[in-house]
């Protein structure tokens, strides 16, 4: 009971969607000792796989889940998840391979066939909000006994999982609302700057979260602090270029190279972005402000806006000597690398995408100059996750 109550308190503090989904699956699996699980979210009349756990296949390698995300099924009673979404009923199955011949739903064996996994016992339950709207479907897979054998889920397991599901839908809706609020100013920039794309901001946020996780593990950051900061940096990193909304169209949309004076105006987007978060209301605001201000600084001091001087009245700010090393917040040092990686690997209207290997070589060669050596090391360690994330967001 203490764990159930703790879950409701902890989940209400999370804002990032992936953090919410991870917490829901972690707790829903922990109570019955389940080996795996997945969450479908309802989107445009379909169910999309949005998060997966599988201790047997992935263990501590969360990047391996990305190839299995974003697959969709129709909301109809033919599949397990579809049946639950249509009927609003919870399914409890002792062995999904032994469904009755006249069952209205079937189990899709493709995941098992691809990975060699054996799905057996399952709880499939709807995620419905207070108005009864289906937000998604939660699947908890393969309960384990003390000896590690797969067993059916007990009545107590079903009760606990349904408790998690009842609170999960509200947390998911809050996280979706937070993501939408974050994306709105980003879309405003995209409408004005043809070079910006929505997936760029999504990727930079996802890359930054993975790089930070590796950096924090090496720095021995306490787990609770690491998870909280990882959640914030993912959201804050998406807002790194929000200051471009205040740059004049004559500069923002200029097709050719910028003059020296125009470049100085463009570089002020870092200061303008920080001003949006000047009235700090939360740790997330503080981090978003420091990332917006510092994400173009270089580790060796050659970046901008540096130690700038704020102008008086309508006078524009004057950029100063670049900040370097620890003068740059670690969040901005991480986002700086993630931003450059995405800019180089993606095709833009003014450039072709660089080959992946060339990008990695370039970033490594800039260790100690453009980038913090500890951040580059974390980036290298996160390579499987980074490559998987790039493929995932390229498909959307």
The catalytic position among 23, 120, 244, 323 is 244
Per-residue burial over 154-175, b = 16 or more CB atoms within 10 Å of its CB, e = otherwise: eeebbebbebbbbbbbbbbbbb
Beta bridge partner(s), residue 79: 106
b/e map 270-279, b = 16+ CB within 10 Å: bbbbbbbbee
151 neighbors 121 (Cβ within 8 angstroms): yes
- For residue 313, give the 3-state DSSP assignment: coil
Q: Is 244 a catalytic residue?
A: yes
**Please, is 243 exposed, middle or buried when counting C-beta atoms within 10 Å of its C-beta (0-12, 13-18, 19+)?**
buried
CA torsion through residues 372, 374, 375, 376, sign:
positive
Alpha helices in 72-197 (DSSP H): 80-87, 110-115, 155-192
Spell out the alpha helix ranges (H) of 67-107: 80-87
- The catalytic residues are 244
């Amino acid at each position: 009971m203490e764990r159930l109550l703790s879950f409701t308190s902890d989940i209400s503090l999370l804002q990032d969607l992936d953090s919410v989904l991870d917490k829901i699956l972690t707790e829903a699996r922990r109570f019955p000792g389940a080996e795996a699980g997945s969450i479908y979210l309802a989107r445009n009349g379909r169910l999309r796989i949005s998060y997966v756990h599988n201790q047997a296949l992935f263990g501590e390698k969360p990047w391996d889940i990305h190839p299995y995300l974003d697959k969709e099924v129709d909301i109809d009673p033919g599949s397990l998840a579809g049946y639950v979404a249509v009927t609003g009923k919870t399914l409890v199955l002792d062995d999904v391979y032994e469904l009755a011949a006249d069952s209205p739903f079937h189990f899709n064996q493709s995941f098992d066939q691809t990975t060699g996994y054996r799905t057996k016992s399952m709880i499939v339950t709807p995620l419905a909000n207070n108005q009864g709207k289906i937000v998604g479907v939660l699947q908890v897979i393969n309960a384990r006994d003390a000896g590690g054998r797969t067993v059916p889920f007990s009545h107590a397991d079903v009760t606990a999982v349904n408790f998690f599901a009842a609170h999960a839908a509200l947390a998911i809706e809050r996280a979706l609302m937070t993501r939408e609020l974050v994306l709105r100013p980003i879309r405003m920039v995209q409408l004005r700057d043809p070079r910006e794309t929505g997936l760029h901001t999504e990727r930079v946020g996802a890359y930054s979260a993975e790089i930070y996780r590796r950096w924090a593990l090496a720095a021995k950051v306490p787990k609770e602090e690491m998870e909280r900061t990882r959640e914030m940096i993912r959201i804050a990193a998406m807002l790194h270029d929000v200051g471009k909304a205040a740059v004049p169209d004559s500069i923002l949309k200029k097709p050719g190279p910028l003059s020296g004076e125009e470049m100085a105006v463009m570089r002020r987007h870092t200061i303008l972005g920080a001003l949006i978060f000047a009235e700090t209301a939360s740790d997330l605001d503080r981090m978003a402000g420091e990332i917006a201000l510092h994400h173009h600084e270089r580790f060796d001091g050659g970046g901008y806006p540096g130690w700038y001087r704020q102008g008086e009245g309508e006078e524009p700010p004057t950029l100063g000597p670049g900040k370097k090393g620890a003068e740059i917040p670690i969040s901005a040092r991480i986002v700086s690398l993630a931003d450059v990686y995405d800019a180089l690997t993606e095709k833009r209207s003014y450039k072709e995408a660089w080959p992946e290997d060339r990008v990695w070589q370039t970033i490594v060669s800039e260790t100690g100059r453009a980038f913090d050596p500890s951040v580059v090391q974390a980036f290298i360690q996160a390579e499987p996750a980074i490559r998987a994330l790039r493929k995932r967001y390229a498909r959307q």
